[in-house]
Amino acid sequence: MNRPKVYIARKIPYEVEEYIGKFCDYEKWGKNTEIPQDELFNRISDKDGVMLYGIKIDEALLDHAPKLKIVSNISAGYNNFNLEVMKRRNIMGTNTPGILNDTVADLVFGLILCSARKIVQADSYVKNCNWTHEYNLNLLGKDVHHSTLGIIGMGNIGTAVAKRAKLGFDMNVIYYNRNRKPEVEKNLGIQYCEFESLIKTSDFIVLLTPLTKDTYHLIDFKEFAMMKKSAILINASRGQIVNEEALVDALQNQKILGAGLDVYETEPIGTDNPLIKIPNVITLPHIGSGTSSTLYNMVKTAALNLVKGSYGEIPPNLVPELIK
Give the interface with ligand DGY as residue ranges (CB under 6 A). 75-77, 100, 288-289
Beta carbon of residue 77, minimum distance to ligand DGY (angstroms, whole number): 3
Q: Which of 84, 194, 267, 313 is catalytic?
A: 267
Whether 43 is catalytic is no
Half-sphere exposure of 153 (CA within 13 A, CB side): 23
**Closer CB to ligand DGY, residue 200 or residue 286?**
286
Beta carbon of residue 125, minimum distance to ligand DGY (angstroms, whole number): 31
- Pairwise CA distance, residues 157 & 101, whole Å: 5
CA dist list (Å): 181 to 77, 173, 189, 280: 21, 13, 11, 33
Q: Which long-range contacts (CB under 8 A, 24 or more apart) does 58-64 make?
A: 58/82, 58/85, 59/85, 62/86, 62/89, 62/91
**Closer CB to ligand DGY, residue 100 or residue 149?**
100
Element (H, E) at 162: helix 156-163
- Pairwise CA distance, residues 21 & 79, whole Å: 28
Beta carbon of residue 288, minimum distance to ligand DGY (angstroms, whole number): 5
**Closer CB to ligand DGY, residue 194 or residue 267?**
267
CB contact at 8 A, 75 and 298: yes
Whether 286 is catalytic is yes
**Closer CB to ligand DGY, residue 44 or residue 99?**
99
Q: Which of 238, 245, 265, 313 is catalytic?
A: 238
**Closer CB to ligand DGY, residue 56 or residue 222?**
56
CB contact at 8 A, 315 and 304: yes
Beta carbon of residue 22, minimum distance to ligand DGY (angstroms, whole number): 26
CB contact at 8 A, 10 and 51: yes
Q: Which of 64, 89, 117, 286 is catalytic?
A: 286
Whether 267 is catalytic is yes
Beta carbon of residue 300, minimum distance to ligand DGY (angstroms, whole number): 14
CB contact at 8 A, 171 and 144: yes
CA dist list (Å): 69 to 92, 119, 313: 6, 47, 9
Beta carbon of residue 76, minimum distance to ligand DGY (angstroms, whole number): 4
Find, among 79, 70, 99, the residue nearest to 314 by Cα.
Answer: 70
**Closer CB to ligand DGY, residue 75 or residue 215?**
75
Q: Could you give the residue numbers annotated as active site? A: 238, 267, 286
